[in-house]
Amino acid sequence: MFNAKGLIEACHLLIVDDSLDELRLLKTLLDAHHFRLSVAFDGLQGYQRAQTLRPDLILMDVRMPKVDGFAACRLLKADPKTHNIPVVFLSAANAPEERLTGLSIGGVDYVTKPFLAEEVLARVRIHLRLAGRPERTGDMATVADAALDPDEVLLQAGIELIRRRLGEPLTVDEIATRLGSYEKKLSALFRQRTGLTVFAFLREERLRTARQWLAETDTGVQDIAEQLGFQNAGNFATAFRERFGLTPTAYRKSVRAGHPIED
């Protein structure tokens, strides 16, 4: 990737964008600097090509048909073959919450359109140098190349999304959409591989997280209930007691006394 002076040499970039005009603009810019380029026209195609081509960096649009850039990034980060590839979002979706979403799900940068060519080039070079991935050898290669089947990648991406959004009132359809999938498939996948429905898995993660916070922090029961998406402290206390046999307050006291309950 780099020569003896640390200069980038013919790195392979994957551009994922459904706009032909944007693709032409980026191709002209990056061709002039001798990058090797591949393209994809939606998030799913981008994810699939990243699996096969293993580019050094991905430039990813957000608003695309079929599977958007956020869904594609979630899949990329859930797959051992692609999770280390830097993803730079390059999008007209420039609301603060969209930029924060892009960075929180694993993007290394977020550039808004219309962009300055010099800025894109500078950020590409920065993240290629930061990535600086050495050639994989031995056991590391085995781990990095360990292929998960597509359903397992989708499941892991779903689990990660749920864990990051425990406090949000998510529906199964919303979760599936954020993964570029659909409700029926995601529901069946969770039942088959976790033995739980999506909602049951979400509830279990909320309660396990609540138990950890009760044991390790001084956060109030009301605040824990609100932050983890329960309607109120009463509903939280009821759910916690049904799952663990103690109210949240009683559990915290048992931990402080050195008698934590076992799962």
Q: How many domains does the chain have?
A: 2
105 found inside a domain: yes
Q: Residues 29, 134: one domain?
A: yes
| Confidence at residue 146, expressed as pLDDT on a 0 to 100 scale | 54
Q: Residues 44, 24: one domain?
A: yes
Q: Cα 224 to the chain's mean position, in Å?
A: 24
| Confidence at residue 258, expressed as pLDDT on a 0 to 100 scale | 81
The Cβ-side half-sphere exposure at 212, using a 13 Å CA radius, reads: 7
Percentage, residues of the chain above pLDDT 70? 89
The full 3-state SS of the chain, as one line of letters, equals: CECCCCCECCCEEEEECCCHHHHHHHHHHHHCCCCEEEEECCHHHHHHHHHHHCCCEEEECCCCCCCCHHHHHHHHHHCCCCCCCCEEEEECCCCHHHHHHHHHCCCCEEEECCCCHHHHHHHHHHHHHHHCCCCCCHHHHHHHHCCCCHHHHHHHHHHHHHHHCCCCCCCHHHHHHHCCCCHHHHHHHHHHHHCCCHHHHHHHHHHHHHHHHHHHCCCCHHHHHHHCCCCCHHHHHHHHHHHHCCCHHHHHHHHHCCCCCCC
Strand partners, 88: 59, 109
- Which tens digits make up the pLDDT trace of 110-138? 999 988 999 999 999 999 999 875 434 34
Q: Residues 102, 169: one domain?
A: no
Confidence tier at 226 by pLDDT (50, 70, 90)? very high
Q: Residues 168, 259: one domain?
A: yes
Q: Residues 139, 261: one domain?
A: no
Q: Residues 191, 248: one domain?
A: yes
| Confidence at residue 143, expressed as pLDDT on a 0 to 100 scale | 46
pTM (predicted TM-score): 0.81
6 found inside a domain: no
| Confidence at residue 262, expressed as pLDDT on a 0 to 100 scale | 64
- Which tens digits make up the pLDDT trace of 82-97? 999 999 999 888 889 9
Q: Which of 52-56, 142-146, 185-189 has the lowest mean pLDDT?
A: 142-146
Mean pLDDT of 237-261: 90
Q: Residues 31, 123: one domain?
A: yes
Strands of 87-91's sheet in order across: 36-40, 12-16, 57-60, 87-91, 109-112
Residue that is written with structure tokens 């830097």 in the block: 86
Final residue of a domain: which of 120, 144, 168? 144
Final residue of a domain: which of 114, 144, 174? 144
5 found inside a domain: no
Confidence tier at 260 by pLDDT (50, 70, 90)? low
User: What integer best gives the mean pLDDT of the chain?
Assistant: 89
Q: Residues 99, 62: one domain?
A: yes
Confidence tier at 5 by pLDDT (50, 70, 90)? very low
Q: Give the C-alpha separation, 169 to 223, whole Å.
A: 16
Final residue of a domain: which of 83, 112, 144? 144
**What CATH number corresponds to the domain at position 203?**
1.10.10.60
- Which tens digits make up the pLDDT trace of 141-173? 444 455 678 899 999 999 999 999 999 988 999
Q: Residues 181, 93: one domain?
A: no
Q: Residues 176, 64: one domain?
A: no
Of 36 and 133, more confident: 36
The domain containing residue 230 runs over which residues?
154-263
